Structure 1
Amino acid sequence: MNLPATKTAFSKINNLFYKSYLPNIIYSAIEVGVFDVLSNQALSCIDLSKEIETNEPITESLLEVLLAIEFLKEKDKRYSLTALANEYLTQTSELNQLGAVKSYIVNGGPFKNLTQALKGDIPEFDQNIWSTEKSIRGIEQGAKAGGIQRVLAFAKEIPEFKKATKMCDFAGNSGYYSFALMHENRKLHAHVYDLEIVCETANKIKKDEAGFDRISYHAFDVRAGDDFGSGYDLFFSSHYLYELGATNRLIDLLKKVNRSMKLGGLFISNHIAGKVNGDHRLTLAIVELMTRSMGFPTHCLPEKVLRKALSEAGFGKFRVKAPDERLASPTMLLSAIKIKEL
């Protein structure tokens, strides 16, 4: 896979699209009573959730969205309304425009059941949600808008990448990152581990792509404790470690990763790591709210969490590349070297 460099920022389009979700989000906040309860007092997220009887983690994400659009203020972890929200979004205001907000609601979409999720009716997350051929192709196409190019540029700067011959692409979908890395390093062979249905689809849609003879797909389920091979001098993971970081299982996994790698091998992570600036702040706040309301704990892996887990799992010599806000998904790239056996 040899992609041209991007010349413009797709994030400008992506951020605009995410704003289209705001009417549904704002109306759910109205329905559960966020604006009315905060109209004359400042409360912490914990106290607000108790007052309006909502799920605290989802409420926390909702408050982050409302902060990003300046409907709320926050001081010492206590939230209160801005003058704008107090005037137009509370039941007691003679000037309220609650009906106008409702008129912009869109039926369907990722926030159609947000009010129910806030009230505790949270669906069980479906790990097969991204396993259809349409989703697999869509994820890869999205990564072509700068994400693949950025990972490749980062890897090329690391001496250990140039010497790598065996790679694990952990939860690697169709292997689109593997193909790009193999195109740069012609000695590299990739092993993609993902759900069985994903591997079957990837084999079908990638069979005619250059480099297919150097890639293998392996069905596995990390939740079942399945093995993911050994002898790697390159281990890559993109957008998969979020849940493990949030549920204190990341260190155990990274210890298994250590045992699967050669001493001196290279680990590369490509994950959203936290808050960013400008329009991205709102977009990532909406993504996090969407994620939690779907029954998944988070779509963020903070740098300090990943560094600590890697250090405890026998990795060091870190390199970090800060998020590029020209991309729709501004991830932090972090690499580490396996410096000791466990």
Structure 2
Amino acid sequence: MRLTVTPENLLEWIALKINMVPLPLLHAQIFPIVGKAVLEAADKGVFEAVHKGKQTVDEIAAECRLHPKALRELMGLLLVLGYFKQRDGRYTLTRISQRWVLKDHDESVFGMMLFNNRVVWPWFEQLGNYLQTGEGIQYHDHLTTDQWAYYQQAMLAATGTEAKEFGRKAPIPKNATRMLDIGGSHGQHSVALCKKLPDLQAIILDLPPAIEQAAPLLARAGMGDRVRHQAGNALTDDFGESQYDIVLLSSLAHHFSNEQNREVARKVARALKPGGVYIINEFIRPETDGKSDGVGTNLVGNSMDLFYGLTSTAGNYAISEIQSWQTDAGLKLSKVKSYLSIPGRAMVVAKK
């Protein structure tokens, strides 16, 4: 899956083919306004207003307290992007908007859109400094209480679809009874596996500020004591010995350095029961030698690598790097599982 410029007629195809179209101009001028327009539309309640039946620009503007002229321009762009259909001046939602953008839909990414618009967008102003100094933001150290809340809602939104696929595809022992979910916050991955295995119980190890905001999100799953939080820090806590059948590290390795991930893997190997599995769930950075890793698009892996470098100073890792942490800890490699719903993302699995 790639983000591309698609010609709409033969002349445009020829212009692209012979390099007449200044693609860098599109990247620099068009893509930023596209991203910000989608975020602002979600934040300002435009999609929700149309869902309520406000179909004309004037009706939507009144509902959202927006300027009609500015909103008409926004709606024109969102129409082209496929978020709306329009007929006789009346707008309706497309299937994309209905499934992915409405905040009450169980697969909605609305939480991530709100977090990106209200918290993340200003971070991009620091990219130039990061490129000069290599010093990232380390945002976990600076989030306010409100920002932690946005962050946890975003993580919940980002994994709604992924967790379902994880529950179907994760290669886990069928008789597993204990799981450690490191940095699992909202607990969707643990919940998915516990629904699959009736005897499984999971502990979610996370930072206290994360638990404070994630606990209400986990409570919605109604898993009672089968999935519970435990305050801690993966870098400093001991995980015990021969305690768990499954250990999951999802969307956390990119916050840690190479050596920190090695140390976590060593503690995980000690904590696993014989036959237990260690799953590292991450966006994958493409191999530097150009060899295919079977995960998919370079756009996702490379863009998230830069984003995580800027925001937490580590970044994505290639599959070979992740597997080296596992093998150095004495674990045996298993098959890598890629996601259909989240391009560029994979489960890197090892067994004890």
- Please state which band the TM-score falls in when normalised by the shorter chain: 0.5 to 0.7
Deviations 1:70-103 (A, max 9, x none): 9xxxxxxxxxxx9779x898xxxxxxx89x9579
1:139 matched to 2:152? The reply is no
Query: Unaligned 5+ residue runs, structure 2?
Result: 6-15, 37-120, 287-291
Contact 2:262/2:326, CA 8 A, preserved across alignment: yes
Partner in structure 1 of residue 348 of structure 2: 334
1:320 matched to 2:336? The reply is yes
Q: What SS does structure 1 have at the residue aligned with 2:335? A: strand
- Mapped to 2, the partners of 1:279 and 1:161 lie a distance apart of 27
Q: Percent identity?
A: 19
- Mapped to 2, the partners of 1:234 and 1:88 lie a distance apart of 46
Q: Counterpart of 1:136 in structure 2: which amino acid?
A: Q
Query: Unaligned 5+ residue runs, structure 1?
Result: 1-10, 20-69, 71-81, 90-96
Q: Normalising to structure 2: TM-score of the pair?
A: 0.59
Partner in structure 1 of residue 130 of structure 2: 117
Matches within 5 A, 1:85-100: none
Q: Say if 1:101 and 1:309 are closer, same or farther in 2 by CA, change over 3 A.
A: closer
- Mapped to 1, the partners of 2:274 and 2:328 lie a distance apart of 15
- Mapped to 2, the partners of 1:103 and 1:305 lie a distance apart of 35
Q: CA deviation at 1:302?
A: 1.5
- Mapped to 2, the partners of 1:115 and 1:207 lie a distance apart of 41
Deviations 1:8-62 (A, max 9, x none): xxx78xx58xx9xxxxxxxxxxxxxxxxxxxxxxxxxxxxxxxxxxxxxxxxxxx
Bigger mean CA deviation after superposition, 119-128 or 161-170: 119-128
Q: Counterpart of 1:187 in structure 2: which amino acid?
A: D
Contact 2:160/2:188, CA 8 A, preserved across alignment: no
Among 175, 179, 182, the alignment partner of 1:163 is: 175
Partner in structure 2 of residue 126 of structure 1: 139
1:252 matched to 2:263? The reply is yes
Contact 2:136/2:313, CA 8 A, preserved across alignment: no
Q: Say if 1:235 and 1:134 are closer, same or farther in 2 by CA, change over 3 A.
A: same
1:266 matched to 2:277? The reply is yes
Partner in structure 2 of residue 41 of structure 1: none
Q: Say if 1:233 and 1:297 are closer, same or farther in 2 by CA, change over 3 A.
A: same
Q: Counterpart of 2:275 in structure 1: which amino acid?
A: G
Q: Say if 1:83 and 1:132 are closer, same or farther in 2 by CA, change over 3 A.
A: same
1:226 matched to 2:237? The reply is yes
Q: Determine which structure has the larger helix proportion and give its number.
A: 2
Q: Say if 1:126 and 1:161 are closer, same or farther in 2 by CA, change over 3 A.
A: same
Output the aligned Cα RMSD.
3.6
- Mapped to 2, the partners of 1:182 and 1:219 lie a distance apart of 20
Q: CA deviation at 1:117?
A: 2.8
1:192 matched to 2:204? The reply is yes
Q: Say if 1:119 and 1:153 are closer, same or farther in 2 by CA, change over 3 A.
A: same
Contact 1:193/1:228, CA 8 A, preserved across alignment: no
Partner in structure 2 of residue 289 of structure 1: 306
Higher relative contact order (CA 8 A, sep 6+): 1
Contact 1:123/1:294, CA 8 A, preserved across alignment: yes
Q: What SS does structure 1 have at the residue aligned with 2:245? A: strand
